[in-house]
Amino acid sequence: MENGAALSIQGLSKEYTRGRPVLHNISLEFAGRGFTAIIGPSGTGKSTLIRCINRLVEPTAGAIVFQGRDLVTLSGRALREVRRQIGMVFQEYNLVERLTVMENLLTGRLGYVAPLKAWLRKFPQSDIDEAFDLLEVVGLSNFANQRADNLSGGQRQRVGIARAVMQHPKLLLADEPTSSLDPKTSVEIMTLIRELGTAKNIPIIVNMHDVELAKRFADRIVGMSGGAVVYDGAPAGLTDGHLKSIYGGEDWLR
Amino acid sequence: MVTIASADRIAFKPNWWARAGWIALAVYIVYACSLLDFTWTRFMVGLDNGARFIGRMFPPNFSRWEILTKGLAESLEIAVLASALGILVSLPIGLLASRNLMPAWVTWPARMFIALCRSFHPVIVAIVFVKAIGFGALSGIAALTVASIGFIGKLFAEAIEEISLKQVEAVRATGASFMNVITYGVLPQVFGRFIGFGTYQLDSNLRNSTMVGIVGAGGIGGALFAAFQRFDYDFVCAMLLAIIFLIFVGEVIATRVRAIFLERGKVDEE
B166 touches chain A (CB under 8 A): yes
Q: Which residue of A has its CA nearest to B183?
A: A119
Output b/e per residue, B33-49; b: 16+ Cβ within 10 A. eeeeeeeeeeeeeeeee
Please determine, for residue A210, whether its predicted confidence score (pLDDT) is greater than 50: yes
Interchain contact, A103 vs B184, CB within 8 Å: yes
CB–CB of A96 and B191 under 8 A?
no
Cα→Cα distances A112→A31, A159, A175, Å: 27, 19, 24
Q: What are the chain B neighbours of A163 within 8 Å (beta carbons)? A: 170, 174
A108 touches chain B (CB under 8 A): yes
pLDDT grade for B1, boundaries at 50, 70 and 90: low
Quick check: pTM over 0.90? no
CB contact under 8 A, B188 and A111: no
User: What integer best gives the mean pLDDT of chain A?
Assistant: 89
What's the pLDDT at A5? Answer: 74
Contacts A–B by Cβ distance under 8 A: 83
Establish if A84 touches chain B: CB-CB under 8 angstroms: yes
Instruction: Summarize pLDDT for A151-184 with one digit per residue, the tens.
Output: 988 899 999 999 999 999 999 999 999 988 899 9
Q: Do A97 and B184 touch (CB under 8 A)?
A: no
Determine contact, residues B206/B246, Cβ cutoff 8 Å: yes
Which residues in chain B touch residue A83, judged by CB atoms under 8 angstroms apart? 172-175
- Of the candidates B151, B140, B11, B122, the one whose C-alpha atom is nearest the C-alpha of residue B80 is B140
Using the beta-carbon criterion (under 8 Å), do A118 and B171 form an inter-chain contact? no
* B183 in contact with A, Cβ within 8 Å: yes
Q: What digits encode the pLDDT tens for the residues A17-69?
A: 888 888 888 999 998 888 999 998 888 889 999 999 989 999 999 899 998 88
Tell me how close the Cα of B193 comes to any Cα of chain A, in angstroms: 12
Of B169, B180, B191, the CB nearest to A110: B180
The band of A4, judged by pLDDT with boundaries at 50, 70 and 90, is: low
- Closest Cβ opposite residue A83 in set B166, B173, B191: B173
Q: Is B30 an 8 Å CB contact of chain A? A: no
* A55 in reach of chain B (CB within 8 A): no
pLDDT of residue B267: 40
Q: Answer yes or no: is pLDDT of B153 > 90.
A: yes
Confidence tier at B269 by pLDDT (50, 70, 90) = very low
Contact flag A56-B169 (C-beta cutoff 8 Å): yes
Give the Cα separation of A218 and A205 in Å (integer): 9
Chain A nearest-CA residue for B167: A94
* Range B155-177 average pLDDT: 93
* Record: contact A110-B172, CB cut-off 8 A: no
Per-residue confidence (pLDDT) for residue B41, from 0 to 100? 82
**B266 pLDDT higher than 50:** no
Inter-chain residue contact B171 with A98, CB threshold 8 Å: no
With 0-12 CB in 10 A as exposed, 13-18 as middle and 19+ as buried, what is B117?
buried
Please write the tens of the pLDDT for every residue from B77-133: 989 999 999 999 999 999 999 999 999 999 999 999 999 999 888 889 888 998 898
Q: Is B164 on the interface with A (CB under 8 A)?
A: yes
Residue A118 contacts B, CB cutoff 8 Å: yes
Residue to test with chain B: of A82, A107, A116, A176, most B Cβ within 10 A = A107
* Residues B192, A98: C-beta atoms closer than 8 Å: yes
Cβ atoms < 10 Å from Cβ of A121: 12
Q: Answer whether A119 sits within 8 Å of B183, measured CB to CB.
A: yes
Residues of A in contact with B180 (CB under 8 A): 110-111, 113, 115, 118
- Asked if A68 is an interface residue toward chain B (Cβ–Cβ < 8 A), one would say no
* Type of residue at B178: F
Is the model's pLDDT at A3 over the cut of 60? no
Domains and CATH numbers, chain B: 67-269 (1.10.3720.10)
* Mutant choice from B162, B165, B167, B190 vs A, greatest count of A C-beta within 10 A: B167
pLDDT in tens, B4-54: 677 778 888 888 999 999 999 999 999 998 888 787 888 888 888 888 888
Question: What is the model's pLDDT at position B268?
Answer: 41
Helix segments in chain B, DSSP class H: 16-35, 40-57, 65-97, 104-118, 122-133, 137-161, 165-173, 178-181, 187-209, 221-229, 233-261
Per-residue model confidence as pLDDT tens digits over B212-256: 888 888 888 888 888 888 888 888 888 889 889 888 988 888 888
Taking the CA of residue A54 and the nearest CA in chain B, the distance in Å comes to: 7
Residue A231, phi-psi category: left (phi > 0), alpha (psi -120 to 50), beta (remainder) = beta
Instruction: Flag whether residue B172 sits within 8 Å of chain A, measured between CB atoms.
Output: yes
